């Protein structure tokens, strides 16, 4: 803090002995020590308060960051990153509406498979797959069909 050389301290000591005298010098040194102790204590408290203020400022900064994160709508942020122009969302909504319209026109498409006969689920122009046909198809491997074997 202060940069005193030994020669400067010696000059200060000689001036103190001449000014105060040898009788008052011990009391003056004791008072100087008390003053120095109090000044260091005050400086330590001040430094502690400054450190506390800095920690509180950092905590406030962290707290505001956490609040910002918790107030963020994560779903909207993800949608904005995936589909910034909104083209995919509008196309998806359009396709969903088309499917709903198709289900409204043909209720057989939305019925569970157990309630609908196999003939009703067949695509136009193709026969329905019955359990017997599915069992035969499971027994025949694709390599057998390519070689021409397994066909009757």
The pLDDT of residue 127: 54
DSSP category for residue 4:
-
Does pTM top 0.75 for this prediction? Answer: no
Q: Is the pLDDT of residue 150 over 50?
A: no
The pLDDT of residue 63: 84
Q: Which residue has the higher pLDDT, 147 or 68?
A: 68
Instruction: Convert the pLDDT of each residue in 41-79 to its tens digit.
Output: 999 999 999 899 888 888 888 888 888 888 878 788 888
Separation of alpha carbons 103 and 88, rounded Å? 22
Q: For 86, what's the count of Cα atoms within 13 Å in the CB-facing half-sphere?
A: 2
Q: Is the pLDDT of residue 148 over 90?
A: no
Q: Where is average pLDDT lowest: 53-62, 96-105, 127-136?
A: 127-136
Separation of alpha carbons 16 and 97, rounded Å? 99
Separation of alpha carbons 108 and 103, rounded Å? 8
Average pLDDT of the chain to the nearest whole number: 77
Q: Is the pLDDT of residue 98 over 80?
A: yes
pLDDT band at 138 (very low <50, low <70, confident <90, very high): low
- Positive or negative, the Cα torsion across 77, 81, 86, 91? negative
Tell me the domain boundaries of the chain: 1-72, 74-147
Q: Is the pLDDT of residue 120 over 60?
A: no
Separation of alpha carbons 13 and 7, rounded Å? 10
Instruction: Please enumerate in sequence order all residues whose Cβ is within 8 A of that of 145, keeping only pairs 6 or more positions apart, or say none.
Output: 151
Q: Is the pLDDT of residue 123 over 90?
A: no
């Amino acid at each position: 803090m202060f940069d005193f050389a030994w020669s400067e301290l010696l000059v200060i000591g000689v001036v103190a002995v001449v000014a105060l005298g040898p009788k008052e010098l011990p009391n003056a040194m004791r008072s100087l020590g008390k003053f120095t102790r109090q000044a260091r204590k005050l400086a330590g408290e001040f430094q502690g308060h400054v450190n506390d203020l800095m920690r509180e400022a950092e905590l406030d900064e962290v707290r505001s960051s956490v609040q910002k994160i918790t107030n963020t709508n994560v779903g909207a942020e993800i949608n904005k990153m995936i589909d910034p122009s909104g083209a995919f969302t509008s196309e998806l909504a359009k396709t969903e509406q088309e499917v709903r319209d198709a289900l409204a026109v043909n209720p057989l498409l939305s019925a569970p498979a157990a309630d609908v006969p196999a003939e009703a689920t067949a695509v136009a122009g193709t026969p329905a797959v019955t359990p017997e046909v599915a069992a035969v198809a499971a027994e025949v491997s694709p390599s057998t069909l390519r070689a021409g074997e397994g066909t009757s």
